[in-house]
Amino acid sequence: MAGREKTADGSIVICRCEDITLSEIRDLIAQGYHTIDEIKRVSRAGMGPCQGRTCRQLIARELAAALGVPIEQVEMPTFRPPSRPVLLSTIARGEADE
């Protein structure tokens, strides 16, 4: 391609919400964080607005590869409501009809 322009640095982004890259995830696994939950708690991956919808599977795949287990053996984190962000004012305002 003509006129080679500056290009983004080649990072592989796993968690778009919290800006966590693949190399960070691999570092954490190497440091001994071996569940999605632990990785989430230490890095915030999966705690952003999409609640892990995008990154959870990619992290699971990395764990499966690093730990040498089939992906179905990777423990899923606990799922708690809400599954999408809710403004505090919405909850504080209370219920519509009570």
Partner 1 sequence: MYSHFAQGREDSGRPLGRLRPNVVRLKDHPILEFPTGREVEFTFNGKEIEGIEGEPIAAALHAAGVRILRHSPKLGRARGFFCAIGTCSSCLMTVDGVPNVRVCTEPLKQGMVVETQEGHGHLPID
Partner 2 sequence: MREVDIAVVGAGPAGLAATLACGESGAATLLVDYMDAPGGQLIKQTHKFFGSERQFAGTRGIQIPAIFMDRLSKMPNVALMWGANASGYYADSGVLTLEDGSKFVKVKAKRVIIATGAAEKPLAFENNDLPGVYGAGAVQTLMNVHGVKPGDRVLMVGSGNIGLIVSYQLIQAGVEVVALVEAAGCIGGYLVHAAKLRRAGVPILTSHTVVRALGEETVRGAVVAQVDQSWQVIPGSEREVACDVICLAVGLTPLVDMMWQAGCEMKYVPALGGHVPVRDENMRASNPAVYVAGDSGGVEEASSAMISGEIAGISAATSLGFEVKEADARLSRLKADLTAIRSGPTGEKICAGIKCATVCGGEW
Q: Which residue ranges make up the site for partner 2 (CB under 8 A)?
A: 1, 5-14, 16, 22, 51, 53-55, 57-58, 71-72, 76, 79-84, 86-87, 89-91, 93-98
Name which of residues 41 to 70 contact partner 1 (CB under 8 A).
48-50, 53-54
Q: Which of 92, 21, 29, 98 is nearest to 65 (CA)?
A: 29
Q: How far is the CB of 50 from partner 1 (least distance, A)?
A: 4
Q: Does 18 bind partner 1 (CB under 8 A)?
A: yes
Distances (CA, A) of 55 to 14, 22, 93: 5, 10, 32
Under 8 Å between Cβ of 20 and 58 = no
Nearer to partner 1, 20 or 60 (CB): 20
What is the rounded distance in angstroms from the CA atom of residue 15 to the CA atom of residue 19?
A: 6
Residues 6+ apart with CB under 8 A from 9: none
Q: Tell me whether residue 21 or residue 35 sits nearer to partner 1 (CB atom).
A: 21
Footprint on this chain of partner 1 (rule: CB under 8 A): 8, 11, 13, 16-19, 21, 48-50, 53-54, 85
